[in-house]
Amino acid sequence: MKSFDVVVVGAGPGGYVAAIRCAQLGLSTACVEQWLNPEGEPTVGGTCLNVGCIPSKALLDSSHHYHNLTHLLPSHGISVSSVDIDISTMQARREGVVKNLTRGIAGLFKKNKVEWLKGHGRLLAGKQVEVTPVDAGSAETVEAKNIIIATGSTPMAIKAAPVDGNRIVDSEGALIFDAVPKRLGIIGAGVIGLELGSVWNRLGSEVVVLEAMDTFLGAADQTIAKLAMRSLKKQGLDIRLGTSVTVANTTKKAVSVTYEDKNGEHEEKFDKLVVAVGRRPYADGLDAEAAGVAMENGRISVDAHCRTSVDGIYAIGDVVQGPMLAHKASEEGVAVAEIIAGQAGHVDHQHIPWVIYTHPEIAWAGQTEEQLKAAGTPYRAGSFPYMAIGRAQGAGETEGIVKMIGHADTDRLLGVHIFGAQASELVAEAVVAMEFHASTEDLARIVHAHPTLSEAMHEAALAVDKRALHI
């Protein structure tokens, strides 16, 4: 029986990063992964690299270029007589991006001497893992001093609209359309629904988004959420809140969706329907509880250091509590690797940035104004529009704002919320500032280069004290 210092179950952004960091720290490491690519070959990267973060951003980028040809470039004096989209070429590019990155991870495993066990992992008592090969060979059992569970998550299903892989698809299916649907229905106005809706809307699809909640992007600061909803509707996304889908029936040519709202029952017909109602922790076939690992509501129970109820077994990423974000999983993987190696691994879950890659982008870190009100925390807030930023004017990216919130008594930075171009990049400054317990005054006194979009951060910090300069 092979024996390792660490066996990682799952090679997504949490698992593969944990495995690499363990190996860097001198620990003998193996990583179990069962994922197969479209050609049926074993691959690493999990949901994020194969059918999530990376391919969706590749399509978002392609669709944004297409959209700019007719919506942004004419104002720059650039006109094109005719614009065509070749979906097969766009999809081939997406596949190429995925292959480059997953091959890169496989190369990192080899470089760092991480042994890749290509199969499905099942926990056994005594910190052993049974690995059933993807090629249907004989199962083998390996043992480890430490085990890291990083099995991720999978799309949630709903009874009203069962995924058939044809007319009704989940987020994975929505990435591989071979043609632009004339009418596209999306159940769920969360991160996934809005990003996928944006892709196909830009390419010409009439998109209707059905959201059960009455509030748009309830987790976001509502100042930002309202601006974002207005913008997305202007772009063509038909977002309907407070709708409950009751049934979806398919034919050879369409899918009929019945839903209810405050005005009664309605029916819509679409060429394709995407079910994007969220994700659930994936621990299928892991047999965690049989191995003594406690679970609650489908998630593996862990403490603040990602330790499970079994000594020497850890769990990270989507399969434990907290936001289902790739960067959160990666940082937990690093922290656990360092804890195992005797170091002080740590992740500050209060300042994990969120990003929605619509255009303009939506990003935030820290607390929202609604959360602070509910907690009774005294605060001051300041906002600054992209419209007043020279770089935004020059680029034609004037839609959006930066909102900054500081404690009313101490001025400590509590939250930063951005709707605008490059929000995903700008929010990093906020995370760094909050990690170092900065005040809004600190950001107000830091020199930001001119002309840049980051000046909106500077001005928003000034606005908290009602002394913004350029508005």
Comparing CA positions, the residue from 412, 389, 391 lying closest to residue 401 is 389
Residue 233's contacts (CB-CB under 8 Å, 6 or more residues apart) are 239
Residue 197's contacts (CB-CB under 8 Å, 6 or more residues apart) are 184, 186, 207, 209, 232, 237, 274
Q: Scanning the structure block, which residue is given the tokens 């709202």? A: 261
> What is the DSSP-derived secondary structure letter of residue 301?
P
Comparing CA positions, the residue from 450, 460, 319 lying closest to residue 384 is 460
Strand partners, 379: 407
360 three-state secondary structure: coil
Q: What is the DSSP code string of 92-122?
A: HHHHHHHHHHHHHHHHHHHHTT-EEEEEEEE
83 three-state secondary structure: coil
Residue 420: how many other CB atoms lie within 10 Å: 28
From 266, 450, 458, 470, the catalytic residue: 450
Structure tokens at 272: 């394709």
Which letter, b or e, does each residue of 218-247 get, where b requires 16 or more Cβ atoms within 10 Å of its Cβ? eebbbbbbebbbebbeebebbbebebebee
CA-to-CA dists, residue 297 to 99, 121, 241, angstroms: 34, 21, 27
**C-alpha neighbours within 13 Å on the C-beta side of residue 333:** 33
Comparing CA positions, the residue from 10, 2, 19, 6 lying closest to residue 142 is 2
Active site residue 450: yes
- Residues labelled as active-site residues: 450
